[in-house]
Amino acid sequence: MTGETPLTWLYVPGDRPDVVRKARDSGADVVIVDLEDAVAPDRKEYARSATAELLREPASPTAAPVHVRVHTEADVLTLAGLPGLAELRLPKITHAASVHHIAALAPGVALCPLLESALGVEHAYTVAAAHPQVRSIALGEADLRADLGVRDDAGLDWARSRVVVAARAAGLAPPTQSVFPDVRDLDGLWASCAHGRALGFLGRAAIHPRQLPVIERAFRPTPQEVEAAHEIIEAARVQAGALALPDGRFVDAAVVAQAHRTLALAGRER
């Protein structure tokens, strides 16, 4: 990463440290080492020790930061404080109390609670605002889909919007989209990312490197959006307060702020 807003997170199994090392140079903005669902029960202890060893190693300046999705308290206690750990992702969070508990075990470590049940979504704001160490929240859509009995993807849209609103209300960055499970369907991934972006998500987790360029393009502002943002900012410099552009677009402080965010995301803020 180069200090830009991250847009791509790549999941990698924790019991494959060789793959994790390669993933850090795959082009993903963040690598998520998974100690939970991606690791078989008889491999979890090895995954924990291998991840701890990796997080003790010096990383190259260009290597992506490492987040870890933990499975047990032992994972938290083993990894907290290691120099290569950027964030812990906490699965199946339902209450703020769980966040406080993990924060006490890992003081100073950035946390991302994952909401994967109806109860977790109901408590989205209290979880998001639970502790200063919470830097983001996200959905775990596979488990949430099973919990709700949802068959159509549109059935998750209310929960998605709930998490977007909760993150904003708690002063957090926009949440990232959950993974798209079909690594071959890149057109479907693109359409799903476009829908997620319209709902307020920013960036997405991936389970295969081939998904990364699609996610990157989907969440970057288009040239037309960048041009429109420049027009808004230039007009606001000339005339303070609310105004209307020649094409009829209304511009006020909120619109200008959004234009600045667009340019910053495009890497063209000036």
pTM metric for this prediction: 0.89
Torsion of CA 195, 198, 200, 203, to 10 degrees: 50
268 pLDDT more than 90: no
- 6-50 pLDDT, tens digit each: 999 999 999 999 999 999 999 999 999 999 999 999 999 999 999
CB of 44 within 8 A of CB of 64?
Answer: no
- 126-140 pLDDT, tens digit each: 999 999 999 999 999
- 243-266 pLDDT, tens digit each: 777 776 777 777 777 777 778 888
Beta strand segments in 35-140, E: 66-69, 85-90, 111-115, 138-139
pLDDT, position 269: 44
DSSP H or E run through 18 = helix 17-23
